Amino acid sequence: MNQTQWTHLDQWFSQLLAPEDDALRLALAQSQAAGMPDINVTANQGKLLHILARISGARRILEVGTLGGYSTIWLARALPADGQLVSLELNPDYARLARQHLAAAGVADRASVLEGPATQTLTQLIKDQTAPFDLIFIDANKDDNPAYLALSQQLSRVGTVIIGDNVVRQGRVLDASNADPGVAGMRTFLQQLAAPGLTSTAIQTVGSKGWDGFSISIVEKA
């Protein structure tokens, strides 16, 4: 198998099982036009997040890393009408555009974007004694993943589902001596997932984004 085949099969799966509506297409197109990095989850990955949120019965979702709001839309659409999603974004221009995309997708009543460094926002949410989230998707800068996880655990209850994107880093997570802070951050994150208090796994994926993977955890102690 090679990248061309992974891409074609991914496109077929996505068209068949995870078709995008106008709002999702708009979010991608405008994100690209605005010069955001082309690192959104794919449609079928978005659908996976949506299904995991539905399986877990999530009513409160936290996302770390909004980008243009593409994954945010997939997740927000998994919520009941009175559900809530909070997504954290460092870049104010990205946040502004993401809010437009959430409105176009009809989920602005449920989904909000908080601007600023996510470690600060998470710390503030903890201070504010925000109600625990049912599902947390960590998908921002990888060097801060250890802090995002530790803070996310403080915003969890027993049973909260924590999902991490991009756990493979082109295989470099195997290399303990790799100097890339994103690789080191992801290695530490994966080691944290092994600690008591979490039940975790990590799964490699291939598709139109190449070789990558997700971690999935359940919080056992909060």
Applying CB under 6 A, which residues contact ligand DHB? 39, 139, 165-166
Range in contact with Mg ion (rule: CB under 5 A) among 9-17, 84-92, 143-151, 159-167: 159-167
The distance of closest approach from Cβ of residue 158 to ligand DHB in the complex, given in angstroms and rounded to an integer, is 28
Can residue 89 be called a binding residue for Mg ion (CB under 5 A)?
A: no
**Cβ closest to ligand DHB, residue 84 vs residue 217:** 217
The distance of closest approach from Cβ of residue 127 to ligand DHB in the complex, given in angstroms and rounded to an integer, is 27
- Separation between Cα atoms, residue 179 and residue 140, nearest integer Å: 19
Read off the DSSP letter of residue 131.
P
**Cβ closest to ligand DHB, residue 84 vs residue 139:** 139
Helix 3-17 to helix 43-55 angle (10° resolution) is 50
**Cβ closest to Mg ion, residue 48 vs residue 59:** 48
Can residue 165 be called a binding residue for Mg ion (CB under 5 A)?
A: yes
- Separation between Cα atoms, residue 22 and residue 122, nearest integer Å: 32
First vs last Cα of the chain: how many Å apart? 42
- Separation between Cα atoms, residue 90 and residue 66, nearest integer Å: 9
Q: Which of residues 123-152 bind Mg ion (CB under 5 A)?
A: 139
Residue nearest Mg ion (C-beta atom): 165
CA 36 to chain CA centroid, Å, is: 16
Pairing type for strands 111-115 and 60-64 reads unpaired
The contact set with Mg ion (CB under 5 A) reads 139, 165-166
